[in-house]
């Protein structure tokens, strides 16, 4: 029995963990390239595999209501923007972390379905606001209720005890914040580099 397999078996006997697909991958890589540190590999690979399952659940959930999941996210962003349930396009794409072009396509489709509508922004004559319609409000509430139902596809995670859910949320929050901070720092550096490389503006003598 290999040292890695023996260690894993001992952990299982103590009830610390159970074997999954990723454990097999780690063992294979440890045998193939034993000189590397794989302590991060299990976390990252499990997050990737979870994302595959969760994305499938989300798309099936939205499809059952006649939507794509990205369109539901637009409805949800508007629904939580109380009391008006309205946002301008910039607020929408910032809240969903997608491009303005993607937001435009989603909003166009939702307008065609009668779930949202565009209105002039009373505080900006050139701007527009995207509002939930009564139909969109009703559909969004129905979908949220379904998502939070005890028998939903997420029930397999809800079966974790409260402490496990809290610990998992805290660990994922720390990991996400670390990536977000790195991404924010890189974006700031790119903007500074763009400013430094831009040609100087000519003075306006008018």
Q: Environment class of residue 94 by beta-carbon count within 10 Å: exposed (0-12), middle (13-18) or buried (19+)?
A: middle
As a whole number of angstroms, the distance between CA 171 and CA 35 comes to 27
* Residue pointed to by tokens 């595999």: 49
Q: Is the pLDDT of residue 13 over 50?
A: no
pLDDT tens by residue, 178-188: 988 887 776 66
Domain assignment present for residue 176? The answer is: no
Same domain, 14 and 75: no
As a whole number of angstroms, the distance between CA 72 and CA 66 comes to 10
The percentage of residues in the chain with a pLDDT greater than 90, rounded to a whole number, is 60
Same domain, 93 and 150: yes
pLDDT tens by residue, 89-145: 999 988 898 888 899 999 999 999 999 999 999 988 889 999 999 999 999 999 999
Q: Is the pLDDT of residue 10 over 80?
A: no
Same domain, 4 and 74: no
Residue 194 is predicted with a pLDDT of 59
Domain assignment present for residue 189? The answer is: no
Q: What is the mean pLDDT of the chain?
A: 84
Domain count within the chain: 2
Residue 192 is predicted with a pLDDT of 66
Domain harbouring 146, CATH code: 1.10.10.10
Same domain, 32 and 53: no
Same domain, 58 and 33: no
Same domain, 4 and 97: no
Q: Which domain holds residue 111?
A: 46-166
Domain assignment present for residue 63? The answer is: yes
Under the phi-then-psi rule, with left for phi > 0, alpha for psi from -120 to 50, and beta for the rest, what region is 123?
Answer: alpha
Domain assignment present for residue 30? The answer is: yes
Distances (CA, A) of 191 to 127, 178, 180: 26, 20, 16
Q: Is the pLDDT of residue 73 over 60?
A: yes
Residue 15 is predicted with a pLDDT of 46
**pTM (global) more than 0.85:** no
Distances (CA, A) of 63 to 58, 60, 70, 74, 150: 9, 5, 11, 15, 20
pLDDT tens by residue, 32-65: 999 999 989 999 999 999 999 999 999 999 999 9
Same domain, 81 and 57: yes
């Amino acid at each position: 029995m290999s040292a890695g397999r023996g260690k894993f078996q001992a952990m299982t006997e103590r009830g610390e963990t159970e074997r999954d697909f990723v454990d097999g991958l780690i063992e294979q890589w440890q045998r193939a390239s034993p000189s590397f540190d794989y302590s991060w590999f299990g976390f990252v690979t499990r997050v990737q595999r979870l994302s595959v399952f969760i994305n499938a659940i989300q798309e099936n959930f939205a499809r059952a209501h006649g939507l794509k999941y990205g369109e539901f996210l637009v409805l949800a962003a508007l629904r939580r923007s109380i009391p008006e349930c309205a946002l301008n396009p910039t607020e929408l794409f910032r809240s969903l972390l997608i491009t303005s072009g993607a937001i435009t396509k989603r909003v166009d489709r939702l307008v065609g379905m009668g779930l949202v509508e565009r209105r002039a922004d009373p505080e900006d004559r050139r701007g527009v606001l995207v509002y939930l319609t009564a139909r969109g409000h009703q559909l969004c509430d129905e979908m949220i209720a379904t998502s939070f139902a005890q028998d939903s596809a997420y029930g397999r995670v809800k079966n974790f005890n409260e402490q496990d859910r809290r610990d998992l949320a805290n660990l994922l929050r720390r990991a996400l914040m670390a990536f977000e901070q790195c991404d924010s720092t890189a974006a700031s550096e790119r903007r500074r580099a763009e400013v430094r490389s831009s040609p100087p503006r000519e003075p306006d003598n008018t």
